[in-house]
Amino acid sequence: MLRPQESRSRELRSLNGLWRFALDTEAGDRPWSARLPGRREAPVPASYNDLYVDAAVRDHVGVVWYQREVIVPSSWADARIALRFDAVAHTARVYVGDALLTEHHGGYTPFEVELDGVAAPGDTVTVTVSVDNRLTYETIPPGEVSVDDEGRASQLYRHDFFNYAGLHRSVHLLATPRVHVRDITVVTDLDDDGSAVVRYEVDAPGARAVAVALRDEDGREVAAGSGAAGALRVAEPRLWQPGAAYLYALEVRVDGDGGDRYALPVGIRTVEVRGAELLINGAPFYFTGFGKHEDAPFRGKGHDDVLLVHDFALLDWIGANSFRTSHYPYAEEVLEYADRHGVVVIDETAAVGLHFNMAGGVHGGGYKPTFSPGTLNDATREAHAQGIRELIARDKNHPSVVLWCITNEPASAEEGAREYFEPLVELTRQLDPTRPVTFANQGDAQPSTDRIADLFDVICLNRYYGWYQQHGDLAAAERHLERELREWAERYGKPLAITEYGVDTVAGLHHPLGTPWSEEYQIEFLEMYHRVFDRIPEVIGEQVWNFADFQTKPGIVRVDGNKKGVFTRDRRPKSVARVLRQRWLGLRERAERS
Ligand code: BDP
């Protein structure tokens, strides 16, 4: 699915800003048919939870309503006019006037709805959106809603981050020609003679003719072709490299109905797993960086360009070359920025919390089978499959994305795991045969008990020896970690990436003996992990949990959120940041020299 853009044939109007807002309990029947009651307004993009000083909003379970007027420009005659929502968490229903136009499930991927028949150029229409934050066994991520004797709903979910909700990303009104470029797929390859092939496919129903031109960053045409699919040869390509991005533009022109133009950024690069290595452009790549979150004070998960630019500045400062979009697809702005700045991305679906019995079920309730008709079942898997389809449809053309991560910490040692995941791995490979596939394994599933690791190309491991186990005893933790990593390496012979390792650390808390929660412990913990990684050749990367402190759900035992950040929630570095910086800048320098 293409990201909307302006071109000589396309127009775009932002619908960001303040919308009217009401909880379902306040909105009455058929809220779309009248002005929402009350005076509350909610900014878009943002989560609604932390805006007001009101626990009823913050902890609301169920539907809320957003509403505003939209003017359709009279100059848009004959165009195809649509509304585009970049992300609504988690289920959206969009009404224009009295008409329910669409429903979308999944809080982190975009959707469009055409306004044919409900709004014409020159009209002013009321757009009302219902936003449902409930997580069930039919949603990804999954959860359970229960209602108590007084009729109060409560939401259980098995991931620790707060279930923020709302219109989290931009909303646009857009116009394209009726015959337009609906989708483009680009795959790049390198030949032995040093030239590159850019294969493209354009989906433009009804087009009389399709022409493409590939331009370099100076706007010079380096290759051209015609037809809805083809291969362009670039004799002396500038490659997209980690840390040294280079982007061509594939300009697509279609004829018919006035014609349409779309320009897609293209990075020429290859990704491949060979033996226990992941190769980018044929060279082994070692990941340094973080698992992140889209999370900030007041905004919750609302996208914010200020935070985007600042976070990437911090990634660069600390010497990180990559991050994982834990635990859901991030805003498209983030991926485009990564493309332009040469940052490597492990792109993850929203399938988190698919483990009912972790650490004896601390995330909710006693023992329950994770995979069963009454828990995660065929309906869950279909929602998961749809999440994978929408992720790949959205992100397939980003050179920064080198690995699809289809789930975080599922119960991969439990009965039913293989039956649940095997079709999803197949689906991912079928949708994108060019990128390796992974999942982030949780420590309950060890090399000998995990039921799915062999299905994947890279084994990502989230490990907490020295925190959740051997708490405070780094010597014992070191032995456990090394023993386990060696076992994975021997048994599978695949690349191992450590996609989580970290400890809760209170910024400013110091202790001469480096006890847990102190800044000293965070340093000693990471240094220990790094010693182990450096001894095991199959380890192809380290991503610390987490980039920054983040907000967690009510009821979990955390002091004002998860404090495993290397930066605080307002992006101040803890002492460990300088330790990481020294290591990663050193690794970066070594990589540049080789
Ligand atoms: C892992 C999860 C991550 C948590 C982290 C933690 O993947 O989302 O935040 O542990 O407990 O289980 O800090």
Residue of 158, 159, 160, 290 best suited for mutating to test ligand 1, as the one with most atoms within 8 Å of CB:
160
Does residue 374 belong to any structural domain of this protein? yes
What CATH number has the domain bearing residue 158?
2.60.120.260
Nearest CA to ligand 1 atom 9: 160
**Mean pLDDT along residues 285-314:** 98
Whether the CB-CB separation of 202 and 36 falls below 8 Å is answered with no
Q: Which atom of ligand 1 is nearest to the CA of 502?
A: 13
Same domain, 248 and 285: no
Domain shared by 433 and 319, yes or no: yes
User: Cβ(409) to ligand 1 under 6 A?
Assistant: yes
Please name which of 299, 296, 327 lies closest in space to residue 551, comparing C-alpha atoms. 296
In a domain, 436, yes or no: yes
In this structure, are 145 and 229 located in the same domain? no
Instruction: Determine whether the shortest distance from the Cβ of 139 to ligand 1 is under 6 A.
Output: no
Alpha carbons 443 and 464: distance in angstroms, whole number? 8
- pLDDT, tens digit, 9 for 90 and up, residues 168-183: 999 999 999 999 999 9
Look at residues 107, 30, 35, 119 and name the one whose alpha carbon lies nearest to residue 79.
119
Q: Say whether 500 is catalytic.
A: yes
For the chain, percent of residues with pLDDT exceeding 70? 99
pLDDT at 565: 98
**Gap between the Cα atoms of 93 and 78, Å rounded:** 26
Handedness of CA 448, 289, 323, 343 (dihedral sign): negative
User: Closest Cα to residue 22, out of 34, 32, 37?
Assistant: 37
Q: Is 527 a catalytic site residue?
A: no
Residue 348 Cβ contacting ligand 1 at under 6 Å: no
Q: What is the mean pLDDT of the chain?
A: 96
pLDDT at 223 over 90: yes
Does the pLDDT at position 365 exceed 70?
A: no
- 3-class state of residue 492 by DSSP: helix
499 pocket-lining for ligand 1 (C-beta < 6 Å) = no
- Could you tell me if 407 and 325 lie in one domain? yes
Give 324 Cα–ligand 1 centroid separation in angstroms.
13
Give the pLDDT confidence score for residue 592 in this predicted structure. 86
- Measured by CA distance, the residue closest to atom 1 of ligand 1 is 462
The tally of domains found in the chain comes to 3
pLDDT bucket at 360, cuts 50 / 70 / 90? low
Q: Which helix (H) or strand (E) holds 529?
A: helix 519-535
Residue 188, ligand 1, Cβ within 6 A: no
pLDDT value of position 555? 82
What is the model's pLDDT at position 118? 95
pLDDT score recorded for residue 364 = 56
What is the distance of C-alpha 453 from the center of its chain? 22
Q: Is residue 90 part of a domain?
A: yes
Identify which of 461, 500, 544 to mutate to test ligand 1's pocket (most ligand atoms within 8 A of the CB).
500
d(C-alpha 21, C-alpha 37), whole Å: 9
Asked if residue 205 and residue 351 are part of one domain, the reply reads no
Task: Examine the domain organization and report whether 382 and 413 are in the same domain.
Answer: yes
> Average of pLDDT values for 27-35?
95
Q: What is the pLDDT of residue 176?
A: 97
The number of the ligand 1 atom at minimal distance from the alpha carbon of 409 is 7
- Ligand 1 site-directed mutation target among 462, 501, 556, 557, most atoms within 8 Å of CB: 462
- pLDDT value of position 348: 98
Average pLDDT over residues 443-447: 96
Q: Which domain holds residue 247?
A: 183-259
User: How much distance in Å is there from the Cα of 589 to the middle of ligand 1?
Assistant: 31
pLDDT tens by residue, 92-121:
999 999 999 999 999 999 999 999 999 999
Spell out a b/e string for 13-46, using b for 16 or more CB atoms within 10 Å of the CB, else e.
bebbeebbbbbbeebeeebbeeebeeebebbbbb
Number of other residues whose CB lies within 10 A of the CB of residue 132: 21
pLDDT tens string 180-201 = 999 999 999 999 999 999 999 9
Using CA atoms, how far apart are residues 240 and 309, in angstroms rounded to an integer? Answer: 20
**Does 389 score more than 60 pLDDT?**
yes
What DSSP element (H or E) covers 155? strand 153-156
Question: Ligand 1, closest atom to CA 504?
Answer: 13
Same structural domain, 172 and 254: no
Q: Which of these is catalytic: 11, 390, 409, 519?
A: 409
462 Cβ closer than 6 Å to some ligand 1 atom: yes
Tell me, in angstroms, the distance from the centre of ligand 1 to residue 247's CA: 35
Q: pTM of the full predicted structure?
A: 0.98
Say yes or no: 195 and 171 in one domain.
no
- The sign of the torsion formed by the CA atoms of 443, 446, 447, 451 equals negative
- Give yes or no for residue 281 having a pLDDT over 70: yes
- In degrees and rounded to multiples of 5, residue 337 shows phi and psi of -65, -40
Alpha-carbon span 519 to 526, nearest angstrom? 11
The confidence score (pLDDT) of residue 361 equals 52
* Domain end residue (candidates: 158, 176, 194): 176
Do 322 and 459 have their domain in common?
yes
Tell me whether residue 3 is in a domain.
Answer: no
State the distance from the centre of ligand 1 to the C-alpha of 28, rounded, in angstroms. 39
* Residue 264 maps to a domain: no
- Does 389 map to a domain? yes
The residue ranking higher by pLDDT, 427 or 366, is 427
Where b means 16+ CB within 10 Å and e means fewer, 293-328 reads bbbbeebbbbbbeebbeebbebbeebbbbbbbbbbb
Final residue in a domain of this structure, among 176, 194, 216: 176
Do 166 and 195 lie in one domain? The reply is no
How many helices and strands, by DSSP H and E, does the chain display? 9, 32
The residue ranking higher by pLDDT, 592 or 483, is: 483
**Are residues 55 and 151 located together in one domain of the fold?**
yes
CB 174 within 8 A of CB 189: no
Provide CB contacts within 8 A for 512, sequence distance 6+.
Answer: 520
Q: What is the pLDDT of residue 358?
A: 87
* 327 C-alpha to ligand 1 centroid (Å): 10
Select from 197, 232, 259 the last residue of a domain: 259
Q: Which atom of ligand 1 is nearest to the CA of 468?
A: 11
Q: Are residues 138 and 214 in the same domain?
A: no
DSSP-based three-state secondary structure for 402: strand
pLDDT of residue 554: 87
Is the confidence at residue 449, as pLDDT, over 90? yes
CATH of the domain at 224: 2.60.40.10
Cα–Cα distance measured from residue 491 to residue 453, given in angstroms and rounded to the nearest whole number: 10
Backbone angles phi, psi at 115, to 5 degrees: -100, 10
Q: What is the pLDDT of residue 257?
A: 72
Tell me the mean pLDDT in the region 55-63: 97
Residue 557 confidence class, pLDDT cut points 50, 70, 90 = confident
Q: Which atom of ligand 1 is nearest to the CA of 442?
A: 12
Taking the alpha carbons at both ends of the chain, their separation in whole angstroms is 38
